[in-house]
């Protein structure tokens, strides 16, 4: 029995040592991963900041070029010219949108007027039909009375 108890104790000590070793490995992995994630986050934040600054710099240089206060090398001038062309296209598209919107509004107004006109005509026609029907009633009665009178004779 003593051997059995001693064997269980040895197995428990080995199990505990293995568990501690595994926990230490997990801890190291977590520390490394957490550090790596922080580095990636910092890198992403720095890239975003750089992009904003480059954009701001570009906008400031563009303003200076627009004002004629800055001379730049040919490649930069080419980029500036391309930007101007894009701006011109944007303005043209904006004008097209405004024009089409105005056209659509005019078309809608015309359609509403046409619907009103058609509705008025339909109401007039209905009213005329009613009036004609009323006018025919006394004539029908007179015709029936005439037929009845002939039939009696």
Show me where the domains of the chain are located. Answer: 1-71, 90-137
Residue 106: exposure state from Cβ atoms within 10 A (0-12, 13-18, ≥19): exposed
Tokens of 44: 């992403």
Query: CA angle 19-23-28, nearest 5°?
Result: 150
Q: Whole-number mean pLDDT of the chain?
A: 85
pLDDT at 74: 94
70 contact partners, CB below 8 Å, separation of at least 6:
61, 64
Tens digits of per-residue pLDDT, 112-133? 888 888 888 777 877 777 777 7
- pTM of the predicted model as reported, rounded to 2 decimal places: 0.47
- Residue the block writes with tokens 């520390």: 31
pLDDT at 108: 84
Rounded to whole angstroms, the Cα distance separating 61 from 73 reads 13
80 contact partners, CB below 8 Å, separation of at least 6:
62, 65, 72
pLDDT at 32: 78
Confidence of residue 60 (pLDDT cuts 50, 70, 90): very high
């Amino acid at each position: 029995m003593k051997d059995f108890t001693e064997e269980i104790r040895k197995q428990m000590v080995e199990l505990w040592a293995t568990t501690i070793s595994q926990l230490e490995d997990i801890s190291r992995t977590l520390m490394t991963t957490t550090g790596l994630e922080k580095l990636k986050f910092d890198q992403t934040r720095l890239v975003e900041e750089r992009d904003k600054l480059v954009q701001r710099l570009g906008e400031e240089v563009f303003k200076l070029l627009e004002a004629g206060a800055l001379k730049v090398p040919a490649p930069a001038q080419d980029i500036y010219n391309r930007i101007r062309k894009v701006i011109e296209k944007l303005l043209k598209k904006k004008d097209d949108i405004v024009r089409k919107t105005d056209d659509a509004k005019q078309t809608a107004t015309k359609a509403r007027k046409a619907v009103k006109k058609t509705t008025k005509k339909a109401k007039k026609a209905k009213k005329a039909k009613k009036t004609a029907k009323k006018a025919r009633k006394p004539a029908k009665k007179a015709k029936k009375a005439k037929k009845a009178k002939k039939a009696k004779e």
